[in-house]
Amino acid sequence: MDKLNPKTPDAPTKISGVGIPTSADRRDKIQNPNRHNGGQNKPEDTKASNKDRSQRNPTISAEEQAQSELGQTALGRHILKFVEYCVVDRGHSELTRRNYLHYLRRLHGFALARHITDAKGIGQELVHDWRLELSKSKLSKTTVNYHVIALRSFLKYLAKHDVATMAPEKIELADQPEREIHFLEAGELNRLLEVYGKNNDMADLRNRAILEMLFSTGLRVSELAGLKKSEVNLERGEFSVGGKGGKRRLVFLSSSARSWLGQYLKRRKDKTDWLFVGQGKGKKRALDFIRQTSDDQPRTSDDTRPTTDDKRASGALTPRQIERVVHRAAKLAGIVKKVTPHVLRHCFATDLLANGADIRAVQTMLGHASITTTQIYTHVTDQRLKEIHQKYHDTKKHAGNQASSNEAS
């Protein structure tokens, strides 16, 4: 990959004398507004004009605002190139790209306030002050570390492309307290699951199916929200899902999850392939988008068809909406502790281990890359180890005591 010098965008494709802008043109227009307005804006007015433009046009997306903001400095343009590199060259997910863009945009704003506009200005003092500000903003140590991880990856990228900046190995992650696992007791879990499924309407069936799926499969909420009907094999009770880093794993449905999901899908009359969809207003929007978004044709860089995110926003449940379903179920079940989809993932893991499952098998079913991540559930196996110790370790001692007692008598 070439060094990070801004490149001149390709010329627009010409069709019958009409210029059709490419994705490079759109990006260049955001990053270099002066080039497209006849140079009417002075450089020092660019930032203010961009702010005014976003205020005048409420439809401008957060992504466009970030592109516009970062395109004004050399540091910002490096960041834009980096997040593009993460997807194209490294194969990271779109979620990783968005998170890195979010974290590094914060760094860019912090650096800009100190008149630092190039990668050369990133040093230990700036990084220290940035981390201090993040900590003062009441972010958790874990979240601050996420910002630092993004920064280190960015610095490694710059070093790889011979851009003068701070060495990434000079940055250390902060120590974090041992992760605390929250899960539900058996009685609480049963009350939670039984909240829905009594009214037999569409929303009720859908919500029960969501809870059953989360507990049966241990899916992450983003994985559940991204599922399609065509991906789930109800007959076999198993299907593969793409997890973090695009790694696929096999997950299994319990008989209860299969039953409730089958009832829900049988009642569905819409044509969308998303597994879980909204009710009411979302239905019509979803059907309208489906008619516009046939995936039969390959997507090009100039494609204006709605993306997967657009489809989801128009019909399928988002991760946040699924979280609300779980929160409401907990409230209706009278559970005072905080219950999230991830808590049900913990319940899935602890239930398996408590019933004798091998930790390596649980690691595979959860999609953990490292066994150390799965070992956070050892609190469940501790009690079983105690029982094993008492059952087997004290056997000879008890037998010896019994023999002595018999001889004395």
Q: Tens of pLDDT along 369-380?
A: 888 888 888 766
226 Cβ contact list (under 8 Å, min separation 6):
242
Instruction: Please say if the pLDDT value at position 19 is more than 60.
Output: no
Residues 165 and 103 in one domain: yes
pLDDT at 80: 96
Instruction: Identify the domain boundary among 145, 170, 195.
Output: 170
Does some domain include residue 392?
no
88/156 Cα distance (integer angstroms):
16
Residues 220 and 153 in one domain: no
Long-range own/partner contacts, residues 155-160 (CB < 8 A, 24 or more apart):
155/122, 157/82, 157/85, 158/4, 158/78, 158/82, 158/119
The tally of domains found in the chain comes to 2
For the chain, give the mean pLDDT: 79
Residues 213 and 120 in one domain: no
Does some domain include residue 273?
yes
Q: Name the phi and psi angles at 402, rounded to 5.
A: -65, -40
Does some domain include residue 369?
yes
pLDDT tens, residue by residue, 43-62 = 444 444 444 444 445 557 78
Query: Could you give the residue numbers annotated as active site?
Result: 220, 244, 342, 345, 368, 377
Residues 20 and 161 in one domain: yes
Query: What angle, rounded to 10 degrees, do the helices at 94-113 and 74-88 form?
Result: 170
Instruction: Identify the domain boundary among 123, 143, 170.
Output: 170
Residue found under tokens 């209860």 = 256
pLDDT at 400: 57
256/277 Cα distance (integer angstroms):
20
Residue 385 confidence class, pLDDT cut points 50, 70, 90: low
Residues 153 and 253 in one domain: no
The top-scoring range by mean pLDDT among 169-183, 279-293, 380-394 is: 169-183
pLDDT at 242: 86
Residues 313 and 340 in one domain: yes
79/68 Cα distance (integer angstroms):
12
Residue 20 confidence class, pLDDT cut points 50, 70, 90: very low
User: Which of 75-89, 143-157, 263-277, 373-387 is the least confident region?
Assistant: 373-387
Residues 132 and 226 in one domain: no
pLDDT at 32: 53
Asked if 157 and 85 count as a contact pair (C-beta separation under 8 A), the reply is yes
For residues 202-207, average pLDDT: 95
pLDDT tens, residue by residue, 212-259 = 999 999 999 999 999 999 999 999 999 999 887 778 999 999 999 999
Type of residue found at 381: T
Instruction: Identify the domain boundary among 170, 203, 227.
Output: 170
Phi/psi region, residue 280 (left: phi>0; alpha: psi -120 to 50; beta: rest), is: left
22 Cβ contact list (under 8 Å, min separation 6):
9, 10, 12, 13, 301, 302
Does some domain include residue 274?
yes
User: Which of 155-159, 241-245, 307-311 is the least confident region?
Assistant: 307-311
Does some domain include residue 395?
no
pTM, two decimal places:
0.65
pLDDT at 177: 74
Does some domain include residue 391?
no
pLDDT at 348: 94
Does some domain include residue 398?
no
Residues 207 and 137 in one domain: no
Using CA atoms, how far residue 308 sits from 206, 227, 273, 282, 305, in Å, is: 21, 12, 12, 15, 10
Residues 128 and 277 in one domain: no
Supply the range of the domain harboring residue 21.
13-43+61-170
283/291 Cα distance (integer angstroms):
13
Instruction: Please say if the pLDDT value at position 324 is more than 70.
Output: yes
For residues 308-315, average pLDDT: 53
40/130 Cα distance (integer angstroms):
35
Residues 84 and 143 in one domain: yes
205/266 Cα distance (integer angstroms):
10
Residues 334 and 202 in one domain: yes
pLDDT at 181: 80
Does some domain include residue 114?
yes
Residues 160 and 278 in one domain: no
pLDDT tens, residue by residue, 30-39 = 445 444 444 4
Q: What is the CATH number of the domain that holds 240?
A: 1.10.443.10
Q: Name the phi and psi angles at 280, rounded to 5.
A: 70, -120
